[in-house]
Amino acid sequence: MSPATAWTIPEVRAALDARKISARELVKEFYARIDQRNPELNAYLALSPERAYAQADKIDAAIASGDALPPLAGVPLAVKDVISTRGIPTTCGSRILEGYRPPYDATVVTRLEHSGAIVLGKTNCDEFAMGSSNENSAYGPVRNPVAAGRVPGGSSGGSGAAVAAGLAVIALGTDTGGSIRQPGSFCGIPAMMPSYGRVSRYGLIAFASSLDRIGPFARTVRDAATVMSTLAGRDPLDSTSSAAPVPDYASALGRSLTGLRIGIPDDYFADGLDPEVRRKVEAGIGLLEKLGCRRVSIRMPNTDYAVAAYYIIATAEASSNLARYDGVRYGARVPGRTLIEMYQKTRGRKFGAEVKRRIVLGTYVLSAGYYDAYYLKGQKVRSLIARDFREAFEKVDAIITPLLLSPVQIGRTYLKPLEMYLADIYTVTGSLAGVPGISVPCGKTSEGLPVGLQIYGPAFGEQRVLQLAHAFEHAGGAEL
Q: Give catalytic residue positions.
A: 80, 155, 179
Q: What CA–CA distance (Å, rounded) separates 431 from 445?
A: 27
Smallest Cα–Cα separation from 191: which of 167, 245, 240, 227? 227
Longest dimension (CA), the chain: 70
Q: What CA–CA distance (Å, rounded) separates 454 from 436?
A: 10
Q: What CA–CA distance (Å, rounded) separates 73 from 125?
A: 27
Q: Amino acid identity of 376? A: L
Ranges of H-type helices in 46-86: 49-65
CB atoms within 10 A of CB 376: 12
Smallest Cα–Cα separation from 451: which of 280, 215, 235, 326? 280
Helices 306-321, 425-433: inter-axial angle, 10-degree rounding: 60
- How far is CA 386 from its chain centroid? 21
DSSP 106: -
Q: What CA–CA distance (Å, rounded) separates 379 from 383?
A: 6
Query: Over 141-171, what HEC string results?
Result: CCCCCCCCCECCCCCCHHHHHHHHCCCCCEE
How does 317-333 read in b/e, with b if 16+ C-beta sit within 10 Å? Answer: bbbbbbeebbbeeebbb
Looking at the DSSP bridge assignments, the partners of residue 79 are: 122, 172
Residue 374 vs residues 122, 210, 309, 366: alpha-carbon distances, Å: 36, 17, 9, 8
Query: Judging by DSSP bridges, how do beta strands 450-456 and 437-444 pair with one another?
Result: antiparallel
Q: Compute the half-sphere exposure of residue 222: CA atoms within 13 Å on the CB side of its CA.
A: 12
Smallest Cα–Cα separation from 142: which of 220, 43, 234, 230? 43
Q: What CA–CA distance (Å, rounded) separates 292 from 288?
A: 7
Helices 9-17, 221-231: inter-axial angle, 10-degree rounding: 80
SS3 label, residue 86: coil
Q: What CA–CA distance (Å, rounded) separates 83 from 88?
A: 10
Tell me what percent of the chain is helix, strand and coil, each rounded to the nearest 5.
Answer: 45, 15, 40
Smallest Cα–Cα separation from 442: which of 222, 286, 223, 284? 284
